[in-house]
Structure 1
Amino acid sequence: MNSEPNKNDEKKEEEVGIFERSMESPELSKYITEEDQEKSEYSDSPVILNWKAYRRIVGYGYRYANNKISPKDWKEVYGILIGSVIQDKKLLVKNAVPIVCGHRAGVKYEDKQYVDMAQIDESVYEDSIKNKKDDFIVGWFHTHPGFGFFLSNIDTTTQLGYQLPNPFAAAVVFDHTKKEEDHTGISVMRLKHPKKSMFSAHMEVPIEYSPSKEFVLKRIERELSKIDKNMEELLDELDYIENKLHKKAFPELRDKFGLIPKKVKSTESFGEYLKSSQEEEEYVWDQEELEEDYEKPPFRKEFENKLKEYESELKALKKEGNLKDFQKKREKYIKKMKDMLKKPNEWVVKLKEDFTEKKKSIENHPLFEYLDSNEREIIKAFERKLTLYISILEEFNSNANLKSLE
């Protein structure tokens, strides 16, 4: 829904516009010499952008900046490009992976985005080895909603990180306001002289589209229409995992049948502790660290104390040679231990079924490829916690059988 910006909004937008346009001619440009403007060997090598990469760039950018959103609410997005170099002549961009949404005139990376990029890099490498391909991360993309095509100082720094190790690496810029019937809204750029670092100018390079420019222009409208109609449906599924399962059902399980230890000693400030406490429980600790810095939940303590008590009594009976009482009490204690674990096992089965169904629905959704690392992390984060809880519960289920005292 469009909204008319008021004067304050117009002032803010004008300020942001001036800020972003100022990046187009940074102060460092006055130090650039004619030598700096000479192109490096591969700077103007053509880039082939295939349909899958194009639609993911445009579709992800469209979610946060389009003509149905007020310009003051437009946001930039960032992602990476996957592809290969063809005969040392052209760069083929086969895929684009959304990473993060920022603010009006920039994007900020967090630790989880770096982790996600590392995982993507590893996944691409493994796939290339397995399927005998030459794919790797070949560059990056970001949007300049309403700002046009250029590389800011920060963009130049980012591009250096890609282009210095790989002279074919490219920066794709998408501006939806430039997209027209005969224009894709895309510009591909490289640094002219990357060895000059921040002093290098940038340049647009020739783009080819696969299968054709006409094809991508025609098909993209259909894709954007799908995003308009069905994106909320997909986000509702994600919201279910995050709020119904992760923030409600799982904490209830832990409150009643807690198995995962919680950290109790920390030199962090309270704010830092709150920020880290959501993630710390997702990892398994060694016993020494667990005893020093982590507190076991009441349910786990009760189970382990009962187990220790029963094992001690049964060992004494076995040592005495009282096999009749040993066997009778062993069966009794096994039943008691299994009864203690009955409810958490039932809860876990329901949680796992619910999560598996939602995860499958999300990953099979036609718009899944437009989710970024923060959104994909919603699934991964809950899966890690649930998997950790299940692994501890399975160990307790095994211990409940008192097999060590057979």
Structure 2
Amino acid sequence: MTIIIPKKVYFTIIASSVRFANQRIPEDEWLEVSGVLIGKNEGKKKKAKVILSEAYPIMHQELDKNAVIDQYKWADEDYLALSIIDDEAFSRDEFTVGWWHSHPGFKVMMSHIDIRTTLSYQQNNPLAISLVFNPIRLIRQIELPDKKGNPIIQLKNDPGFKIYRLDDVNKGIQASYHEVEYELEGFNNREEAVSQAQKFIIDVTNFFPKENVTKRYDDYVKERINQLNSMLVGTEEYLKTLTRKGEKNRVPEVLESQKKEIRKYVAETFIKIENIKEYMDYLEYKERERIIPLVNEILSKWDQAISKLNGQLDEISKKF
């Protein structure tokens, strides 16, 4: 049995997990994240394939530093989200093929709670899977020991996750489990996949906050618009200075140079804007209806500013 994992699915799991467990967050505040996997089954028995098409983040663990057991419960809105996702998948001749969750900073394995959850999926679908991801495993390329004091195992080109299935669902929560083979699609090789994923973690850490998402992006867009306006004003003032000094012959060269700098700035901002749009796919499902329209409204402010740019540059050119 082999699991086919597209790049989009892999990066969704990474982004959704790292959002709640990264270097900008104190380690004792890292939270587990959980979601479902959508796809379809092909083939039978040993030649069976589970082909993933989507990974949906559903919820994250509640922080309680005094809790003996992690607070890891689905709310009513999470079950509603799962129902909607199921219906949408069914309309594409797909279905929920398993679940995924993160183990931020600790060993990739299945706890008794994870076994119970996997059991609920595998009882309904014998080919159902459980994917467990640890971003630190991906970043540091290490396998944490089974017991404290045992040596850490160095890894190479490890994507940070393992996929499991229960051996015998009839044994219930006492069931043992085994690893399942998988293939990552969208990369030339495993080394490239890991390298891109590690760089992606840096981007997510810096630009996909766990809280105040709209404020973060609103502040960014406002800052970029203000800086763009400052560049336009600065260009005009510079050209005025050259004219006053009797160096008008330098105006065309300087103007062209300033235009290049402005367009470079716009291009850099465009990349970040596209990142923001991409990150909307990594929000928990219940967040999307509220956050995405607000973010679209924020991004439209940048679009409006850019729509005026050519006219503003033409006006500056005409003055000199």
TM-score of the aligned structures, taking structure 2 as reference length: 0.60
Q: Which residue of 1 aligns with 2:117?
A: 158
**Residues 49/139 of structure 1: CA separation in 2 closer, same or farther (3 Å cut):** same
**Residues 112/366 of structure 1: CA separation in 2 closer, same or farther (3 Å cut):** same
SS for the counterpart of 1:366 is helix
The alpha carbon displacement at 1:232 in A equals 4.5
Q: Which residue of 2 aligns with 1:365?
A: 277
1:378 aligns with 2:294: no
The alpha carbon displacement at 1:238 in A equals 7.1
Question: 2:209 touches 2:216 (CA, 8 Å); kept in 1?
Answer: no
Q: Which residue of 2 aligns with 1:100?
A: 59
Q: How many residues align?
A: 213
Name which of 175, 188, 194 aligns with 2:169: 194
Q: Which residue of 2 aligns with 1:260?
A: none
Distance 1:175 1:235 in 2: 24
Name which of 126, 132, 146 aligns with 1:173: 132
Q: Which residue of 2 aligns with 1:70?
A: 26
What is the Cα-based RMSD across aligned positions, in Å? 2.9
Q: Which residue of 1 aligns with 2:182?
A: 207
SS for the counterpart of 1:367 is helix
Distance 1:111 1:191 in 2: 27
Distance 1:200 1:158 in 2: 12
SS for the counterpart of 1:80 is strand
1:118 aligns with 2:96: no
Question: 2:167 touches 2:176 (CA, 8 Å); kept in 1?
Answer: yes
The alpha carbon displacement at 1:60 in A equals 0.7
Q: Which residue of 2 aligns with 1:216?
A: 193
Alignment-mate amino acid for residue 90 of structure 1: K
Question: 2:19 touches 2:209 (CA, 8 Å); kept in 1?
Answer: no
The alpha carbon displacement at 1:106 in A equals 5.0
Distance 2:86 2:62 in 1: 26
Question: 2:20 touches 2:210 (CA, 8 Å); kept in 1?
Answer: no
Question: 1:237 touches 1:362 (CA, 8 Å); kept in 2?
Answer: no
Q: Write out aligned runs for 1:305-316 (5 A).
A: none
| Structure 1 residue runs without a partner (length 5+) | 1-44, 129-133, 242-360, 383-406
Name which of 136, 146, 150 aligns with 2:95: 136
SS for the counterpart of 1:365 is helix
Q: Deviations over 1:263-288 (max 9, x none)?
A: xxxxxxxxxxxxxxxxxxxxxxxxxx
Q: Write out aligned runs for 1:13-52 (5 A).
A: 45-52=1-8
- Larger radius of gyration between Structure 1 and Structure 2: 1
Question: 1:113 touches 1:374 (CA, 8 Å); kept in 2?
Answer: yes
Distance 2:175 2:76 in 1: 29
TM-score of the aligned structures, taking structure 1 as reference length: 0.48
Structure that is richer in strand per residue = 2
Distance 1:119 1:378 in 2: 16
SS for the counterpart of 1:217 is helix
Q: Write out aligned runs for 1:343-358 (5 A).
A: none
The alpha carbon displacement at 1:169 in A equals 0.8
Deviates more, 1:200-209 or 1:99-108: 99-108
Distance 1:196 1:145 in 2: 29
Distance 1:62 1:225 in 2: 9
The alpha carbon displacement at 1:195 in A equals 1.9
The alpha carbon displacement at 1:164 in A equals 1.2
| Structure 2 residue runs without a partner (length 5+) | 64-69, 142-155, 219-272, 295-320
Alignment-mate amino acid for residue 187 of structure 1: K
Alignment-mate amino acid for residue 376 of structure 1: R
**Residues 68/182 of structure 1: CA separation in 2 closer, same or farther (3 Å cut):** farther
Distance 1:61 1:234 in 2: 14
